[in-house]
Structure 1
Amino acid sequence: MVLLFLPLVAALTASSALAMGPWKGNDASCGADLACALGERSYHVLEPDGWNGVSPLPVLLHFHGWSRTGKHAQRSDRVGASAKRRGVLLVTPNGRAKSWNFWTAGTEDVPFTDAVLADVAKRYPVDAARIFVSGYSYGSAMAWRYACHSGKDVAALLAVAGSIDQSETCEEAPEEVRHVHGLADTVMDFPVGPGGDVTYPVALWRRQLGCSESEPRGDWQARSFLTLSRTTWTCDQGAVVLDLHPGGHFIPHGWIGRQLDELLGLTPSYP
């Protein structure tokens, strides 16, 4: 009798969880356009389309660009829409004065980001093996800084048009690094290496992860007018991917979605 009863209890529990809607622990005070307060600071969270309120969620933590806020990234079709349609929870912290202190190793923004992820895990059932960290421009440099000092639990760094000094030595590293940069970028200048080396933008991670051989992977279209050239490295401790395009300072349309498709094992789609 007990054996017959247990499956029924499990079924009712699951049904109740689905009926209650999105799971937020003991606090449903934030979401959509309402920021989640965390001490004197805050962050935004955007739930994916079609989530059942129970299944563990991959997370994309994205740092906004200079003079922006986390809300801008949530509303972006190149960030927010790409995460939503792929079943990924988008988390966008708010920088002080709409910026980030990525210049030094001792920045308060690293422990702040740790606290954001810990708070998100109290509100949502997070898939801890699929934490992706991204950023654009100043936010990309902040994503690099975060991965450099708190990256051991990061499955992949997805960086767009911004980095830190390639001569730095990092305490930690993500499992995988994917960086995209425009060759004509003059806002966060494209960091050409010695002898005109265009692979220099990921020199730090190639050194950190013990990368050796590089493999050009040809070109793929992000949009009809923009072709990205990809190079990958074989590494002892992970993987490094560099995508280059001939344009300037922007997030290539479809790039973040493409990376999530590949990392999550989804059929590539656009955007």
Structure 2
Amino acid sequence: MMIRSVFAVLALAGSATAVLAGCADETGPCEIAGGSYHIVLPKAEHPPVLVFLHGHGGEGAGPINNERLVAPLQARGWAVIAPDGAIRPAGTGKRSWNFFPGWEGRDEAAFLNAVTEDAVARFGLDQNRVVLGGFSAGAFMVNYLACATPDAYSAYVPVSGGFWRPQPEVCNGPVRLLHTHGWSDPVVPLEGRILGADRFQQGDIFAGLEIWRIANGCLDHKPDSYSLTGPFQRRAWTSCDPGGVIEFALFPGGHMVPEGWADMMIDWYEALGDP
């Protein structure tokens, strides 16, 4: 049996159902120019949708098969789209996301926009309530897209990923962002780490939050509110430019999409109101 990367294993963690991945009722992913995606639908018509990007070495089937991620969303009337990352160059043979500025590869912004447009047209989704989330490498992708195009999605919800160094000097704003991270994450530590034989450095998550506060024109470094939701210790910055909201949710765990995240994310998003 081949040993999978820790990213792929953790992306599948929590799955306890039969394989659900596919193109709604059809087996196999939905195919479009430039790639493919998986989708599951609720019974509701014109549902909001979470587009969720898998981690390094994974594929779209991983998040779709994760019951603790998908089941709460379906139960509350949300669709879930999980695109497939492109095979990365340099002979790795693994799927990931072309998130770092200057890398060669697929135009991910254009691809993900095409995924959303195809799914909205094909399945009758609510194009005004599309949230972009992701785990690990997928979360890095989410952050860079939010930085460049904050209004491309109605909100951004990365889990266990921020920026790489050198971190962006400035991001566009305002943005509605919920960042979730594990206190003891060893793969993407809160302080960042060096990886890839010293070629790459993950950035400090708290330094990334400062970039977002500046982009949103927040009045102070200090959070406006603190709250607890199950295992999540939450701090929010809301005294910012109109339309700008940043929230950071820390949980006592490692590199994973934690149980309870989907419901917390939906509650957070619905409390924001229309974008």
TM-score of the two chains, using structure 2 as the length reference: 0.74
> Following superposition of structure 1 onto structure 2, how do residues 157-172 of structure 1 map, counting pairs within 5 Å?
157-165=156-164, 167-169=167-169, 172=172
Q: How far, CA to CA, are the matches of 1:183 and 1:30 in structure 2?
A: 35
1:218 aligns with 2:227: yes
**Given that residues 75 and 81 in structure 1 are in contact (C-alpha distance below 8 angstroms), is that contact kept between their aligned partners in structure 2?**
no
Query: Which residues in structure 2 correspond to 1:17-166 (within 5 Å)?
Result: 30-32=23-25, 33-48=27-42, 50-51=43-44, 55-97=45-87, 98-104=95-101, 108-165=107-164
The Cα shift of 1:120 comes to 1.3
Per mean C-alpha deviation after superposition, the further-off stretch among 97-106 and 71-80 is 97-106
Q: Does residue 1:191 correspond to 2:191, yes or no?
A: yes
Bigger share in helix: 1
1:198 to partner: Cα distance = 7.3
Conserved in 1, the CA contact under 8 Å of 2:163 and 2:208? no
Q: Aligned equivalents of 1:155 and 1:133: distance in 2?
A: 8
The alignment yields a C-alpha RMSD, in angstroms, of 2.5
Considering only CA atoms, is the larger Rg found in Structure 1 or Structure 2? 1
In structure 2, the CA distance between the partners of 1:158 and 1:183, relative to structure 1 (3 Å rule), is same
Correspondence 1:203 to 2:210: yes
Displaced runs of 4+ in structure 1, greater than 6 A? none
Separation of aligned partners in 1, 2:174 and 2:63: 22
Name 2:90's counterpart in structure 1. none
Contact 2:131 2:157 in 1 (8 A): yes
Q: Give the SS at the match of 1:158.
A: strand
Deviation of the 1:220 alpha carbon: 2.5
Distance in 1, Cα, partners of 2:235 & 2:161: 18
Q: How many residues align?
A: 225
What amino acid maps onto 2:121 in structure 1?
K
Task: Tell me the distance in 1 between the aligned counterparts of 2:78 and 2:174.
Answer: 18
Q: CA deviation at 1:173?
A: 4.3
5+ residue gaps in structure 2?
A: 1-21, 88-94, 193-203
Q: Quick one: structure 1 residues 178 and 250, their matched pair in 2 at CA, closer, same or farther if it must change by over 3 Å?
A: same
Is 1:228 the counterpart of 2:228? The answer is: no
The alpha carbon displacement at 1:172 in A equals 4.2
Contact 1:149-1:170 at 8 Å conserved across structures: no
Match of 1:241 in 2: 247
Contact 2:187 2:255 in 1 (8 A): yes
* 1:139-181, Cα deviation, whole Å (9 max, x unpaired): 1111112222333132211110001148415664464100011
Using the TM superposition, give the Cα deviation of residue 125 of structure 1 relative to its aligned residue in structure 2, in angstroms: 2.2
Aligned identity (percent) is 28
SS at match of 1:56: coil
The secondary structure found in structure 1 opposite 2:100 is coil
**1:199/1:170 CA distance change after superposition, 3 Å:** closer
Shift of 1:245: 2.3
Q: Are the equivalent residues in 1 in contact too, given 2:174–2:215 (CA < 8 A)?
A: no
